Chain A
Amino acid sequence: MSHATTAPHETHHDAHYPGGIMRWLTTTNHKDIGSMYLTFALIMFFVGGAMILAVRAELFQPGLQLMQPEFFNQLIGIHALVMIFAALMPAATGFANWQIPLMIGAPDMALPRINNWGFWLLPPAAILLTLPFLLAVFGIGDGALNTGWTMYAPLSVQGGIGVDFAIFSIHILGISSILGSINVIVTIFNLRAPGMTMMKLPIFCWGWLITAFLLIATIPVLAGAVTMLLTDRHFGTHFFNAAGGGDPILFQHLFWFFGHPEVYILLLPVWGLMPHVLATFSRKPMYGYKAQVYSFIAIGLLSVVVWAHHFFTAGLPVPALLYFMYSTMAISLPLAVLFFCWIATMWKGAMSFETPMLFAQGFIIMFGVAGLTGLVLADVAADAQYHHSYFVIAHFHYALFAGGIMGVMTGVYYWLPKWTGYMYDEKLGKLHFWLTVISFNLTFMPQFFLGLAGMPRRIPDYALQFTEFNAISTVGAMILGFSQLIFAWNIWKCARGHANGLAPAEGRAWEGATGLEWELSSPPPHHSWEVQPDLRQPGA
């Protein structure tokens, strides 16, 4: 006879953990590391946000008011790198750390020390990225990366020390991402609860698994590209120097081979969490689990074969233009399947509109705008007009803010009761949602019209006819930026729920929530699954 031992969760001991800063420096616990990733992401979200608010303030009216064009260029480039690599990606990794072990019935991530190392690589990378700003104040160097986040050669070959700092920062961020990806892959493949087959894997984990493979496939290409840039700058090579027999377009191929899948690296974890939220607040099982999984796989595969649509105007041969146009448009098919499944999940459900559900609705509608305008940009003929215009800026902010950051906010509000043990302030959450969604559209909808009217991106000054739309966009951006303080306050309030008199959260914090993570107490015990769940048992 044999039986698995059972023990109540209350018996876990937490009196013997190191306290203070040592806890955070040495922790190998997936929840601590997840919290650190999310906190880091929130801080860098405000850092990157502050940069772009300065940019929008400059663009409030034509002419140069607040800064010189060189500094403007540094702000827009670093804003993008900070938001992508230091805010959105760490937020997704924070979700992975917190949720994957809880959702698959594992006590922790498979490689906890590597997990710790992966996080602690991030702060030095962020410092490297932003340090040239400070050095320039003391007269060292000429400021941060000023080539835009894409670092196109030959401009970046000729740039100042900010490019070198960015190259090293990208290398460190890449190592961190690879360590995180390896950890996710081996955790999902090795530590699932008995009986949790791949087709029972929570869809959030599927989203992250595809993300991890995309990172494995693309990070070496980016690492190679920036290393080639470094050797071109300092060691006399000519990879991207046409005069020396090199090819500057090669850099664009390398960069976007990473850069386009990067969009899905940012979005797939969010698409993975969305069905859980929609099912919970519709009080229905999620619709089309298998269809969504196969769509994720299809999107992952297609994402690495469409990169050149980012530089249709670079002079590619016509067959290549046609191939990249049709392959890009093909991504809309699995994406449409996802949209259909999300809507079908809500169809005839007993829906309620708590903050996570509001954000999920906002995500679906505004990400739909990103998808539709993406189809326009995928058209080679139309792209010749829209390329390098504010239309592109508006499109990718609908994708990455509405699709990415609002998705992260959905996840934070959804899982915050599980993480903290307290229900967040619903009134503040709803206020945050409405301010965000209104001000976001106020900021970026006018930019579609600016782009259509011909305003180019990456300029600190513009023609007079663009003034009104820019003024509206700046007012929207200011409201959008400052309303995020409500988000930070709500998280802080919830993290200190007892002191703030918030209601304690039950294990199953939401009435309609299903999944292993909701079987645990809120917050979960130190070792998440002290007794491994067994899904082979009847009814499991």
Chain B
Amino acid sequence: MALLVRETLSGQAWVARRNPMLSSLQARRLTLAAAGISGGIALIFSAFGAWPVLPFAGIEIGALWLALRHLQRQAGDEERIDIDATTIRVTRRSEDRCDQDEFSRYWARLRVDRPPDKQTFRLFLRSHGRETEIGRLLTDTQKIVLEKDLRKHLGT
């Protein structure tokens, strides 16, 4: 996970995104290579009568494909927090949607949720009865950094 801090024309922006090394094309090639090897072996053994190897090879390659697909779908996830003179805007992009929440910079407040039985804590931005979670792509320490940065800018 990467948290980038950017100065924009009208203020400042924090951009959180994942760090995938594998493009979707590479992921497809990897799955195809694994399927070729595993499927080829299974086909050879099937030709000698051991056809029950085939379904296991299929299940396994299916699992690998699902795992890579799961990561690829998350690869483009991004959360951007823009602050200008009057507003704070949270924009979340994922594979099939883009959400945006806007708050008044003066009124918006940060809430930190540290439940005793959870492994990570959560950050929320709220104002006028509305609340949205921020920093879902970040590690605990990055959330602490984001929290400190935002507190300097909110309510002013």
Contacts and interface: CB of A to CB of B under 8 A. Distances in A.
Tell whether A pairs with B. Answer: yes
B30 A189 contact: yes
Contact of A216 (B51, B64, B142, B146): B64
A2 B45 contact: no
**Best-surrounded residue of B22, B75, B114, B119 (most CB of chain A within 10 A):** B119
B73 interface: no
Contacts of B6: 1-2
Interface residues of A, number: 59
Contact of B50 (A16, A216, A254, A526): A254
Contacts of B118: 16, 18
A13 B120 CA distance: 9
Interface of B: 1-7, 19-22, 26-27, 30, 34, 37-38, 41-42, 45, 48-57, 59-60, 63-64, 67-68, 70-71, 75, 114-119, 121, 139-142, 144-146
A220 B57 contact: yes
B4 A110 contact: no
A179 B106 CA distance: 49
Nearest to B54: A224
B142 A531 contact: yes
Given A186-B68, A216-B37, A220-B42, 19 more contacts: A1-B7, A2-B6, A5-B4, A5-B5, A5-B145, A7-B145, A13-B121, A16-B118, A28-B119, A107-B139, A110-B67, A190-B75, A194-B19, A221-B50, A221-B56, A224-B51, A224-B53, A227-B56, A530-B141
A16 B21 contact: no
A11 interface: yes
Nearest to A32: B119
Contacts of B63: 178-179, 182
A17 interface: yes
Interface string A1-31: 1111101010111001110000000011100
A114 interface: yes
A224 B45 CA distance: 10
Interface in A304-341: 304
A395 interface: no
A254 B117 CA distance: 48
Contact of B22 (A9, A189, A194, A225): A189
Contacts of A380: none
Interface of A: 1-5, 7, 9, 11-13, 16-18, 27-29, 107, 110-111, 114, 178-179, 182-183, 185-186, 189-194, 213, 216-221, 223-225, 227-228, 231, 239, 246-247, 250, 253-254, 257, 304, 525-527, 530-532
Nearest to B64: A182
A224 B54 CA distance: 8
A88 to B, nearest CB: 22
Nearest to A229: B52
Contact of A219 (B26, B49, B60, B144): B60
Contacts of B7: 1
Considering the complex of A and B, which 7 residue pairs feature the smallest CB-CB distances, nearest first?
A224-B53, A530-B141, A220-B56, A220-B57, A223-B56, A224-B52, A527-B139
A247 B142 contact: no
